[in-house]
Structure 1
Amino acid sequence: MTFPTLPEPLAAALSARGYADPTPVQAAVLAEEARGRDLLVSAQTGSGKTVAFGLAIADELLADGALPQPTAPLALAIAPTRELALQVAKELGWLYERGRVVTCVGGMDAARERRNLSYGAHIVVGTPGRLRDHLERGSLDLSALRAVVLDEADEMLDMGFREDLEEILDATPETRRTLLFSATLPKPIVALARTYQRDAHRIATVSDTAGHADIAYQAVAVAPADIENVVVNLLRLHEAETAILFCATRDNVRHLHASLVERGFAAVALSGEHSQSERNNALAALRDGRARVCVATDVAARGIDLPGLSLVVHVEVPRDAEVLQHRSGRTGRAGSKGTAVIIVPYPRRRRVDGMLRGARIQAEWIQPPSPELIRAADRERLLARLLQPQEVDEEDRDLAAKLLAERSPEDIAAALVHTMRASLPAPEELIAAEQRAERRPPRPEIQNGDFGPSAWFRLDVGRRQNADPRWLLPLLCRRGHITKDAIGAIRIGPNETAVEVRGDVAAKFAHALTRTAGSAEDGIAIEPMDAGPGGPPRGGPAQRPPHRARPTHARPNGPRGPRQGRPR
């Protein structure tokens, strides 16, 4: 498959960039049935869609194979974030080398953008809010517009830009072409297309059977208290050129970033609390190799395109399959291979299994990387690096001769290996409750000696959710603001766990639970239980207490049991 006949300037630009064959989405928009029509395109991030819509609007921009003098813009491209808009402008800039591409994005100098618009443009690329601002101020003239492109339209609607988009589109000529690109096509996108497109040609290059062919999905079940250590070990195992770690909140981004920097990782952070200059500096550090790890929230990472990004780690479970695919789509771009790892606290494994099935993603469940596995990988990488051919000059040889005169070759080699290893962050020891459970029966109860007066609390996890005192203790202390000395017996049943708390701190523990329940990321419910003076029955907490009990004859259709003898 090769590119169809293109205008000479575009063909030369593609050739100079090394483009030989079009990607599926590029071939689809250049097909004869798509020419001159409105397009509704569903395509994965990284599939070459920026070049695709640049080629698709060529007929609207070029007259006799050349661009006219820049006056009012002929094409408008709208993107959800500053980074994505700047990236789109860069791509269109080399594709239309002699064209004038003007950017209008939030966080930049608006007065400078107005001056650039006053000089004329062929293409304007911007974010919805800033474009609407220029439109209302009269500095953006859309009267001559021939094509509008909405890139990652689903994200723009998710981010609340519907009103901005509608005002911009309402100000464009009715004769324009409208090209709508989106990774997914939920109902709001289809409704937007129905309102602003005419007889749109629909193109779908997203597979119906897999999340992304170039992304290997993995999931690792861990103790909630071990998540940060597993992040460290995943980074050390893969040693990716660039990796991105997704957290749910800016507070979690700040904490994880600080923890990784303390351990010796070259990491940067991206969240809503960072200014545009801080974001630009962080992205520059990732692109030039000064940093290799980015810790980010979902919104802050939208539109980021990082070369060499081969590892995505979902530190906190995505809220749904769409977020999972959007996050993971940062890697595996333009034919490169990538790995997306979901860190799953034991109690949430069932939910993640369901999400993966719903998204038709085949994920491999793996064990958390152990220090032994990481050291083995380090040895292989060190040997490969040290055995590579090296170009040396006379000064290098003189220094090598002096070293050999002082030490044996074995000592020098050992010192070199030690120096290289010393620059690597140390792997973390893991709780690994699941592996221990495979080697021995679980301990159903631990007792803290003569405990005295106490109160009992119930957790909605048990043996079937891999409950283990090793990770339940830190969770209870964190959620209840107590120390482990205040916890007595832990009785683990099939689906529930009963925990004994010392009587003098029980009220404080219960109050802390009510304050931390809404912000808890572990997904575990903890509530008081009426256990009586002797504690819960020895049968385990799976036997519900009296105030939640249900008659043995109860059925889903009511407390009186099934209706018998009545016709349906």
Structure 2
Amino acid sequence: MNTLYQDFFMPFPDLAGPLATTLAERGYAEPTAVQAAVLEPETAGRDLLVSAQTGSGKTVAYGLAIAGEVLAGAERLGHSATPLALVVAPTRELALQVQVELTWLYAKAGGRIVACVGGMDPMAERRQLAHGAHIVVGTPGRLRDHLERGNLKPQTIRAVVLDEADEMLDLGFREDLEAILETMPAERRTLLFSATVPRGIAQLAKGFQKDALRIAATNEGKQHSDIEYRALSVAPGEMERAVVNTLRFLDPRTAIVFCTTRAAVARLHGNLVERGFSAVALSGELSQAERTRAMQGLRDGRARVCVATDVAARGLDLPDLALVIHADLPNDPETLLHRSGRTGRAGKKGISALIVPHNRRRIAERLLMAAKLQAAWSGAPTADEIHAKDGERILASGIEMLEAEPDEMDLELGRRLLEGRSAEAIAAALVKQLRAPLPAPEELAAAQARPAPQPRTMPAPTEVGEGVWFRMNVGRSNDADPRWILPFLCHRGHVTREEIGRIRIMDRETRFEVAPYAAARFAHAAAKPGRDDAHIRVEPADAPMEGPARRGPPYPGPKRPYAGKRPAPRRD
């Protein structure tokens, strides 16, 4: 690289040597906020406690921050029998990504980066460590194991980095982290990078850092400007259909869908594949080889959708990830921010969409408020909207195809196709061919918003009310009890407890009253049983039967088993 290029195009003017050259060649125009912060003169040689958003370039940031300890002023690194720096990451995927990032960053300096992660062959890692490394990257459990076995020798380590330290504490790695840090040389730098700095991180920093400099490279209290948040209101039980339609309407190059359990991941992944999506699954039960294949499929474009649990997706950095879908609402605002932070990275725009059953809207609103996020509320995309969007895309791709200059052979075939056929018929056949590989959109029930509370008087249990009566083919002989019937009706019929009136239990059937304004919604939803309650029929009744009327108390569980006939709880 000539001197003129170095003078005018170096993105990090205060950084010299091979790392600066590498960054310039990789197209880095200017440092991110966290990268600039860790290179300030007052950070030299000091322990750092850094909070930075996901996607802010923190891997490169701490790679640059420890360059003084690793390079020690040299332009080129020689062989090192023992490591000079250690990076600890919470998950296998993140550790392997860090290895890739540091490998290209230190390539011109001759740096050798070795990864030690759970799920990989420990004997192969031992051989790599014996061969020598300048920087070792790994997960807490595997690094501790190598330290205790003597495979990883810490005597020459000059810098230790804890990446996503808050996640490591959440995953229960405190004991491993403390054991690792206690074996490190006293004269070392310790750098903690974390999205947030809760009390546990502050205690860890106080115990293992010396006069640490606190750097806040986040826009605390401000919404990530590159992430657009959307909340999609749907009817209960239609989460999977809403996910399908959201993927079809937005049509991202790569998307990730979050579920809370492994079982939910397996079910949703299977349904997406069955519908024609190129999807992979990531959950804790997969082997490292399976997880690696899934990630590679996403990176090379063979798969476009990843269905994952929170634990499996920690630290993922997928190229061109434009869409995050929360199929299951996260449990806390930190998880919401962490999930959403998989997109909107490195200056690219992204969308974070929450699928919200209308009976959980208040929970979603409180979650967004706690995370200090503003989301645009709407229904999930409908089949008609998806067909219209398909038309726009097909028209654009068709025009692009027509703009290509055909050769004489193609023109001849075109003339022969036109013989006896109209141009409209041929164009329609082309549209049909372009539409054929697209997964069919789903028909969604109207996610009817709950009406505003209005003063209304429910009839007394001894009177005949004005509600609409329904019946179900379960009675006293089947251990019918209001304590399970009431929540069952609410779930099956997409209504609230307040919208269910009197309940009359007979020997072989149960009749119940539904508020007039909710009757049509209830009838539509209750006519579609789930897999676990298909044996229970719910249908309109002309009038209530004579008998005692009861309302069940808040659901505490039945007093006795239901003899195998009560529907199992649906988890969709």
Any residues of structure 2 matched to 1:105-116 within 5 Å, and which?
105-116=117-128
2:98 is the counterpart of 1:60: no
2:238 maps to which of 207, 226, 237:
226
Aligned to 2:414: 400
Quick one: distance in 1 between partners of 2:523 and 2:308?
Answer: 29
Measured after TM superposition, the shift of residue 507 of structure 1 is 8.1
Give the match's secondary structure for 1:224.
coil
1:362 aligns with 2:374: yes
Opposite residue 56 of structure 2, the aligned amino acid is S
How many angstroms does 1:473 deviate by? 2.5
Q: Are the structure 2 counterparts of residues 423 and 515 from structure 1 closer, same or farther at C-alpha, using a change threshold of 3 Å?
A: closer
Q: 1:13 to 1:478 in 2, by over 3 A?
A: same
- Give the Cα–Cα distance (whole angstroms) in 1 for the partners of residues 365 and 390 of structure 2: 32
Q: Which amino acid letter does the alignment assign opposite residue 39 of structure 1?
A: L
* Alignment counterpart, residue 28 of structure 1, candidates 37, 42, 46: 37
User: Which residue is equivalent to 1:265?
Assistant: 277
- Range moving further from structure 2, 263-272 or 143-152: 263-272
1:473–1:394: structure 2 CA closer, same or farther, 3 Å change rule?
Answer: same
Aligned to 1:73: 83
3-state SS of paired residue (1:458) = helix
SS in 1 for 2:419: helix
Alpha-carbon spacing, 1:308–1:398, altered in 2? closer, same or farther (3 Å): farther
CA distance in structure 1 between the aligned counterparts of 2:330 and 2:542, rounded to whole angstroms: 34
2:106 pairs with 1:92: no
Mapped to 1, the partners of 2:157 and 2:151 lie a distance apart of 14
Aligned to 2:187: 175
Aligned residues of 2:358 and 2:450 also touching (Cα < 8 A):
no
- Residue matched to 2:513: none
Matching residue of 1:122 = 134
Query: Are residues 1:320 and 2:329 paired?
Result: no
Q: How does 1:87-486 map to 2 (within 5 A)?
A: 87-97=97-107, 98-388=110-400, 389-390=403-404, 392-405=406-419, 407-434=421-448, 445-448=467-470, 456=482, 457-459=485-487, 461-462=496-497, 468-469=521-522, 473=526, 482-485=535-538
CA contact (8 A) 2:523 2:539 kept: no
1:161 aligned partner, one-letter code: F
Deviation at 1:226, TM superposition (A): 1.3
Distance 1:478-1:405 versus aligned 2 partners, 3 A rule? closer
TM-score of the superposed pair, with normalisation by structure 1? 0.82
Q: Distance in 2 between matches of 1:5 and 1:420?
A: 53
Question: Does the residue aligned with 2:237 lie in a helix, a strand or coil?
Answer: helix
Give the Å deviation of 1:278.
1.3
**Is contact 1:314–1:343 with CA below 8 Å preserved after alignment?**
yes
Q: Call closer, same or farther: CA 1:407–1:359 in 2, change over 3 Å.
A: same
Q: Secondary structure at the match of 2:215?
A: strand
Contact 2:472–2:536, Cα closer than 8 Å, also in 1? no
Q: How many residues align?
A: 507
Unaligned runs of at least 5 residues, structure 2: 1-9, 457-464, 491-495, 501-516, 545-549, 553-557
- Change over 3 Å in CA distance of 1:387–1:141 after alignment to 2: same
Look up the SS of the partner of 1:209 in the other structure: coil
Identify the residue that residue 38 of structure 1 maps to in structure 2. Answer: 47
Distance 1:197-1:415 versus aligned 2 partners, 3 A rule: same
Q: Is the 8 A contact 1:481 1:509 kept in 2?
A: no
Retained in 1: the 8 A contact 2:160–2:190?
yes
Q: How does 1:512-531 map to 2 (within 5 A)?
A: 516=569, 521=571
**Conservation of the 8 A alpha-carbon contact between 1:482 and 1:509:** no
The question of whether the paired residues in 2 share the 8 Å contact of 1:445 and 1:490 is answered with no
Question: 1:267-315, CA deviations, whole angstroms, 9 ceiling, x for partnerless residues?
Answer: 1111122211111111111111111111111111112211111010000
Q: Is the 8 A contact 2:52 2:216 kept in 1?
A: yes
2:486 aligned partner, one-letter code: R
Shift in CA distance, 348/464, structure 1 to aligned 2, threshold 3 Å: farther
Q: Report what 1:5 is aligned to.
A: 14
Q: Report the alpha carbon displacement of residue 68 of structure 1 after superposing the two structures with TM.
A: 3.9
Q: For each residue in 1:32-90, what CA deviation from the matched residue of structure 2 results, as whole angstroms up to 9, or x when unmatched?
A: 12221111111111110000001111111113332243221111011111111111011
Q: What TM-score do the two structures reach when normalised by structure 2?
A: 0.82
Aligned-residue RMSD, C-alpha: 3.2
Q: 1:214 to 1:416 in 2, by over 3 A?
A: same
- Please, which moves more after superposition, 135-144 or 345-354? 345-354
C-alpha deviation, 1:31, in angstroms: 0.9
Distance 1:213 1:464 in 2: 41
